[in-house]
C-alpha cells in the first residue's frame, strides 16, 4: 500500500515538473482519496490485494467508477468493491445529503409558518432557530439542483427487470393539505446492479401520471425491459402496456395476497395465505400452475369470489415462471421497492405535512440518490452470468454474425 501511494505521488510530481499541470491540487486530492479508500478496504477485509492470510474477513470484488464533487472540482475515483457489499467509503459521508434535505424541508416549513409543535421541536433540536428566508432559499436551491441532475441523468440500458410502485405523503396544495403521490422506478442493469431509475411527485396516482412518468424514463434511455413488476393499478397497467411494449408484466404477489385475504373471513385468512403460498414453493413451472388451479378449486365451494380472483389473476401472478428459476424470488414481488418505500416513509414521517410538492421531491430525491449510490457500492442483485440468460447477444456485448443480421 505504501509503495503504491509513493508511486502515485511520484507520478504526480513528474507531471507537475514536465507538463506544468495546472491541476496539481485536484490531482493530489484524488491520489490521496484513492489511497484512503484502498487503506480502508484493506482494513475492512483484513488483507492486502492478493494477500493470503488467516485473518481475512472478506473478498474484494473489483472497482466501480464514481465522480465525486469536491471544493477543488469533480474527481474521477475508482471505488473498491467488497463481495458482500459491506464497504462504503467514509469520505462520501453516507446519509449526509438526505439529512441536509430534511433540514431544508423543516426550515422551509418553519419560515413559511406552517410548522406544528412537532416540527417546532425538531427545528430547535437541529439548532435552526432564527434561520432566515435567504438561508433557506440558498440551501433549497442547491439541493434542488442536485435532485434534478439525479432525476434527469441519462439511463444506460439494457434494464431487463423494472419495479414500479407509489407511496403517499401529505403536502399543502393551494392552501389545503392533500395527499401527494410519489412514484418510483427501480431497475436492474445488464450487469446485475440495481439503480433508482426515476421518481416524480403528483397530485394522484392516475394513468396519465404513470404514462408521462414512463415516457420520461424511455426518453432518458430506458430500454431492453423484459419484465415489469408492480401492483394491479389499472392506470399503471395501461401505461406499461402503452410505453414498454413487448415487456411482460408481473403482478406483485404480496399485493395480490392482500387482495385475496380481503375476500376471506378473518378466521380463515391465515389458512388462505398459507395455501396460496404453496404455489410459490413449487420447483417447476408446470407444477406451480397445476398447484394454482388446485388451490382455486379448493376455495371454490366456500369462497367463490376468492376462487374467481385466482382464476383471473393466474397468468399475471405467475408471470415470473417464464424467466430463469434463480431469478424467481426477486421477480415475484415488489419487495425491493417495498423496502425502499419504507425508508422513504421513515424520512418523510419526520416532516409530517410538507409545505409544498417541491419540498417532497427535494427530500425523497435525496433519499433515493443516497440509496442509488449505496447500491452502486454494494453487491450485485443478480450475477452478470445469470442475467446473460435473458439478454440478447448485442446486449451482452457479443458480436453478431453478419448472416444472422441479414436474416433478421
pLDDT at 395: 85
pLDDT at 46: 85
pLDDT at 107: 57
- Quick: pLDDT tens for 257-268: 999 999 999 999
Grid coordinates representing 109 are 416549513
Backbone angles phi, psi at 198, to 5 degrees: 180, 170
pLDDT at 57: 81
- Across the range 11-16, mean pLDDT stands at 59
| Segment among 29-38, 301-310, 349-358 with least mean pLDDT | 29-38
Residue recorded with cell 464533487: 69
pLDDT at 114: 47
Separation CA 9–CA 222 (nearest Å): 41
Between 166 and 47, name the one with better pLDDT. Answer: 166
pLDDT band at 104; cut points 50, 70, 90: low
- Quick: pLDDT tens for 137-169: 666 777 788 889 999 999 987 999 999 999 999
Buried/exposed code over 37-46 (b: 16+ C-beta within 10 A; e: otherwise): bbebbbebbe
**Taking 60 as the threshold, does the pLDDT of residue 323 lie above it?**
yes
Nearest to 162 by CA among 194, 189, 186, 198: 186
Separation CA 154–CA 181 (nearest Å): 24
CA dihedral 163, 339, 139, 108 (to 10 degrees): 110
The C-alpha angle with vertex 66 and arms to 63 and 71, in degrees rounded to 5, equals 135
Between 226 and 23, name the one with better pLDDT. Answer: 226
Give the Å distances, CA to CA, from 171 to 36, 128, 251, 343, 357. 43, 22, 29, 18, 6
Nearest to 180 by CA among 360, 346, 355: 360
Instruction: Looking at mean pLDDT, say which of 24-33, 299-308, 386-395 comes out highest.
Output: 299-308
Separation CA 92–CA 33 (nearest Å): 10
**Taking 70 as the threshold, does the pLDDT of residue 2 lie above it?**
no
Separation CA 334–CA 320 (nearest Å): 12
- Quick: pLDDT tens for 362-372: 889 988 988 89
Residue recorded with cell 406451480: 288
Residue ranges of alpha helices (H) inside 262-303 are 269-277, 285-299
Orientation of helix 253-261 relative to helix 269-277, angle to 10°: 150
**Taking 70 as the threshold, does the pLDDT of residue 13 lie above it?**
no
pLDDT band at 61; cut points 50, 70, 90: confident
Instruction: Looking at mean pLDDT, say which of 72-81, 274-283, 346-355 comes out highest.
Output: 274-283
According to DSSP, residue 327 is labeled G
pLDDT at 50: 77
Separation CA 86–CA 378 (nearest Å): 7
**Taking 90 as the threshold, does the pLDDT of residue 122 lie above it?**
no
**Taking 50 as the threshold, does the pLDDT of residue 22 lie above it?**
no
Cα 63 to chain centroid distance, Å, stands at 20
Orientation of helix 2-19 relative to helix 24-45, angle to 10°: 170
Amino acid at each position: 500500500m505504501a509503495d503504491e501511494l509513493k508511486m502515485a505521488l511520484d507520478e504526480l510530481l513528474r507531471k507537475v515538473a514536465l507538463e506544468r499541470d495546472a491541476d496539481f491540487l485536484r490531482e493530489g486530492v484524488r491520489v490521496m482519496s484513492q489511497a484512503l479508500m484502498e487503506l480502508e478496504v484493506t482494513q475492512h477485509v483484513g488483507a492486502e490485494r492478493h494477500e493470503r492470510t488467516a485473518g481475512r474477513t472478506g473478498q474484494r470484488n473489483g472497482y466501480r467508477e464514481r465522480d465525486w464533487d469536491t471544493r477543488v472540482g469533480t474527481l474521477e475515483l475508482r471505488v473498491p468493491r467488497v463481495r458482500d457489499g459491506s464497504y462504503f467509503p467514509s469520505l462520501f459521508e453516507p446519509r449526509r445529503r438526505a439529512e441536509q434535505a430534511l433540514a431544508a424541508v423543516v426550515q422551509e416549513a418553519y419560515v413559511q409558518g406552517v410548522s406544528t409543535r412537532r416540527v417546532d421541536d425538531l427545528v430547535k433540536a437541529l439548532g435552526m432557530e432564527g434561520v432566515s428566508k435567504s438561508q433557506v432559499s440558498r440551501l433549497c436551491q442547491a439541493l434542488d439542483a442536485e435532485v434534478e441532475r439525479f432525476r434527469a441523468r441519462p439511463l444506460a440500458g439494457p434494464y431487463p427487470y423494472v419495479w414500479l410502485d407509489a407511496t403517499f405523503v401529505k403536502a399543502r396544495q393551494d392552501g389545503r393539505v392533500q395527499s401527494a403521490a410519489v412514484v418510483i422506478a427501480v431497475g436492474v442493469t445488464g450487469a446485475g446492479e440495481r439503480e433508482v431509475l426515476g421518481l416524480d411527485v403528483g397530485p394522484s396516482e392516475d394513468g396519465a401520471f404513470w404514462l408521462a412518468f414512463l415516457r420520461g424514463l424511455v426518453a432518458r434511455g430506458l430500454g431492453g425491459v423484459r419484465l415489469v413488476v408492480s401492483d394491479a393499478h389499472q392506470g399503471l397497467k395501461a401505461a406499461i402496456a402503452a410505453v414498454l411494449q413487448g415487456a411482460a408484466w408481473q403482478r406483485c404477489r404480496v399485493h395480490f395476497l392482500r387482495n385475496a385475504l380481503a375476500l376471506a373471513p378473518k378466521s380463515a385468512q391465515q389458512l388462505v395465505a398459507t395455501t396460496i403460498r404453496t404455489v410459490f414453493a413449487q420447483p417447476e413451472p408446470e407444477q406451480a400452475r397445476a398447484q394454482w388451479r388446485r388451490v382455486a378449486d379448493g376455495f371454490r365451494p366456500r369462497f367463490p369470489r376468492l376462487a374467481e380472483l385466482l382464476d383471473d389473476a393466474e397468468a399475471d401472478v405467475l408471470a415470473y415462471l417464464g424467466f430463469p428459476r434463480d431469478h424467481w424470488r426477486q421477480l415475484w414481488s415488489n419487495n425491493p421497492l417495498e423496502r425502499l418505500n419504507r425508508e422513504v416513509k421513515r424520512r418523510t414521517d419526520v416532516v409530517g405535512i410538507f409545505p409544498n410538492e417541491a419540498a417532497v421531491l427535494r427530500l425523497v430525491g435525496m433519499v433515493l440518490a443516497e440509496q442509488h449510490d449505496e447500491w452502486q457500492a454494494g453487491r450485485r442483485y443478480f450475477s452478470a452470468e445469470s442475467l446473460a440468460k435473458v439478454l440478447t447477444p448485442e446486449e451482452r456485448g457479443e458480436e453478431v454474425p453478419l448472416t444472422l443480421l441479414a436474416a433478421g
